[in-house]
Structure formats: structure tokens, C-alpha cells
Structure 1
């Protein structure tokens, strides 16, 4: 039985309130009838999420916001001197002990939580204390891979982010082309995996193979502005970022391609749609 994860368990017994499930080693978990399927039969194997409660294992077919080893944004439903309970997305709330709170968790507010098994208690636990820009080995990424991000916080270097709910990376300030907000979700791309195992992220795909996205954004902006856009290759990176939310490098690639395709004309300080 692996708490904090989905387990494939066999239905061993049906009782009035639900079902008893069993793993190959004989450990048992109880699941309420409300979470069971009408097609369940004794001997069938089911995939369920397992958690601990009242000294035993319980199961649900609900999907939590995060498994053990993952991050998720959760809302506090109760804050006590001993710790806080977070809405985990399932029937059971996740407990974050007071000692695992970077700052005191306030009821009804949202926090980024990491879920893990506490070594001392063996219980599924949450924490708001985690390393910034940790080093990793054997990462399942390659340069250019598209990833899901959760924005953590802004620093002097840029923005710390959670990648695919499991890893922490960094978007350098020079790669930020729009307003970002803590705990919001974004799509990003692997920019580099450094020799020290740290991950650099960019918000926009790099390379000419992705330039169509930027070309279309410029065309859309031109259509919205009666065929004129007061930007050029002499415009500042800040002006381009404010108007188009892209880097000057990608902007120059895009207008170069559009000009070559005879879709736009470049006139002094402006772009004209042909």
C-alpha cells in the first residue's frame, strides 16, 4: 500500500457502507460506497487514491490536487496553533504542521504546498518550506520541451517556478515579457538544463521553427489597429514587450519573415499591413 499515490487494489469484501480493498501483501483499505462504481464486484481490481485516517488506510476515486512528491496551490480551510488544514481536492484535507509553515497560514488564503511523507510519522504531510532552485539529476526534459508552470515568487534574478508540479526552475528577468502573478499558471519551455542540474525556463518557444506563433500575433495586432503598428526594429525591448508580449529577438525574426512573405511593409517607425 502506497499512501499519497494511486494504487491498483483488489476488491476483497463488500459491506453496507462501502468496500474493503486489498493489495498483494494483504494490507487493506476502506472506500465509501459513494466513491465506488456500480460495476464493482468482488475480485475486481480498481485504481484508487490511498490516504491515512484513524490509524488505517482509506481510499477514494477522487483525484487530489497533488500526489506525494508534487506541488499544488491549495486553499486553507482551517488554521490552528498546531497547523493548518488545506483543501486538497478530495474528501480528506491535507495537514500542514506549524513547523512546516514558512509563514503562518491564514484561513481562506491560497498557498503553494508541497506534499510528502513525513519520515517521523509516516503520514502524508504538506509544507510551504522548500528549496529555491534545487539541483536535479536525470531530469525527464530536453531543451525546447513545453511544460506547465506555477509561478512561485519573484527574486532579483527573475521568477522561481514549479515545472509540471514536480520541479523548481527559474525564468530570468530578461525572459519575462508580460506581467506575472504569484500562484498563477503559465505555459513555458525548457530553455536550458545546466551542468549543476538547475533548470532555466522561458515563456516563449525559441528558434525559427516556432516563429509562426509570433508572426500571427503581429498580424492579429495589425488587424486590431487598422493595419498599422507603431513599432520597428529600432523600438526598445520594453516597447515591444508592452505591445506584443514577446522579446525583441523574436519580434525581429517575425517581422523579417512577414516582410519576406510580402504580408507587411516596414516604414520608418511603423509596420503596415499590405
Structure 2
């Protein structure tokens, strides 16, 4: 039985309270009838998430915000001296011991939480303490991959981010072209997997193959401003970032393409639709 994971189990028993589910080894978890929305028979398979309640294995068809080995943003539903209980999207709350709290967790507030199995207690546990920019091996990621990001915090180098709920990466300050907020979600792209196993991330795709996206952004902004935009090749990176949320490099590539296609006219201090 994979504790803290979604898996396919087989129905081995039925009663008025629910279903007993088994894996190939014969280990069992109980699924309450409140989660059974259609008639099931012994031998049928069902996809469930396995967790613990009162030291017993239980199952649910609910989808948790995160599984063991993943990060998620969760709200605190109760804070006690011994620890905090977090809403993680299923019937049972996730417990974060006081010693696993980077700062004291306050009821009603949201936090970035990582799930693991406590090796001593064999319990699914949460923590708000995790390494910054850890080194990874055999990452299932490649340069250019589109990824989901959770914004963590700003650092001296840029912004730490969670990549696809599982890995910690970094967006360098030079690659930040929009206002970022801790715990917000963004779309990103793998910029590099470094030799030391660290992950560099960008908010925008790189290369000419993605230039159409930037061209469309410029056109949209021109249309919003009645065909005129007070930006040019001479504009500063900050001016371009504030107006279009893209780098000067990508701006110049896209602008050159629009000019070549005779869609825009480039003047000394502005551009306009032809």
C-alpha cells in the first residue's frame, strides 16, 4: 500500500459502512460509502488516495492538494501548541508538528507545505521547512519544458519557485518581467538544468520558435492604445518590462518580425500600426 499516494486498489469486501480495498500484497484500506457513488462489486478496481486516520489505513476518492513528495499551498484550519492542522483537500486535515514549522502557523492563513512520511511514526506529515535550491539527480525535465510554478520567496538572486509541485528552482532577477507574489501560481519554462542538479526557470519561452507569442503581445498592446506605443529599440529594459512583461531581447526580436512583415512602423521614440 502506497501511503499518501493515489493508486488503484481492488474491492475485497463490502458492508453497510463501505468497502474494504486490497492491494496485491493483501494490505487493506477502508473506503467509506460516502465516497462510493455507483454500484461496485467485489473484485472491481477503484482509484483512491490512501491516508491514515486513528492509525488505520483509509481511502478516499477525493483529490488532495498534494501527495507525499509534493508541495501545495494550504490554509490552516486550527493551530495548537503541539502543531497545526491544514486543509489539504480531503476529509482529514494534515498535521504539521510545531518543530516542522519554519514560523508559527496562524489559523486562517495560507502556507506552502511539503508532505513526507515520518520514518519513526510512519505518519503522513507536513512541513514548512525545506531546503532552498537543492541539488537533484535524474530529473524528468528538459530545457524548454513548460512547467507549473508556485512562487515561494524572493532571494538575493531572484525568486525561489516550486516546479510541478515537486522540485525547487530559481528564477533569476534578470528573467523577472512582471510583479510576482509569494504563494501565487504562474506558468514557466525550464531555462537550464545545471551540472550541479539545480533548476533555472524562466517566465517566458526562449528562442525564435516562440516569437509569435511576443509579436501578439505587442499587437494587443498597440490595439489597446489606438495603434500607438511609446516604446522603441532605445527603450530601457525596465520600460519594456513594465509595459509588456517581456525582456528587451524578446521585444526586439518580435518588433523586428512585425516590421519585416510591414505590420508596424518604427519611429524614433515609438511604434505604430501601419
Both proteins in one fold, TM over 0.5: yes
Whether 1:121 and 2:128 are equivalent positions in the alignment is no
SS of 2:41's equivalent? Answer: coil
Whether 1:215 and 2:215 are equivalent positions in the alignment is yes
Deviation at 1:49, TM superposition (A): 0.5
Deviation at 1:9, TM superposition (A): 1.4
CA distance in 2 between partners of 1:255 and 1:123 (Å):
56
* Alignment correspondent of 1:188: 188
* Alignment correspondent of 1:31: 31
* Alignment correspondent of 2:176: 176
Deviation at 1:20, TM superposition (A): 1.0
Whether 1:78 and 2:106 are equivalent positions in the alignment is no
* Alignment correspondent of 1:263: 263
* Alignment correspondent of 2:50: 50
CA distance in 1 between partners of 2:23 and 2:189 (Å):
39
Deviations 1:89-138 (A, max 9, x none): 00010000000000000001000000000111110000000000000001
Q: Which runs of 5+ in 1 are unaligned?
A: none
Deviation at 1:23, TM superposition (A): 1.5
TM-score scaled by length of structure 2: 0.99
Whether 1:200 and 2:200 are equivalent positions in the alignment is yes
Matched positions, count? 274
TM-score scaled by length of structure 1: 0.99
Deviations 1:43-72 (A, max 9, x none): 111111100111210000001000000000
Q: Which runs of 5+ in 2 are unaligned?
A: none
SS of 2:74's equivalent? Answer: strand
CA distance in 2 between partners of 1:38 and 1:248 (Å):
56
Q: Which runs of 4+ in 1 moved over 3 A?
A: none
SS of 2:129's equivalent? Answer: coil
Alignment RMSD, CA only? 0.7
CA distance in 1 between partners of 2:25 and 2:4 (Å):
18
SS of 2:143's equivalent? Answer: coil
* Alignment correspondent of 1:249: 249
Deviation at 1:37, TM superposition (A): 3.1
Deviation at 1:39, TM superposition (A): 2.6
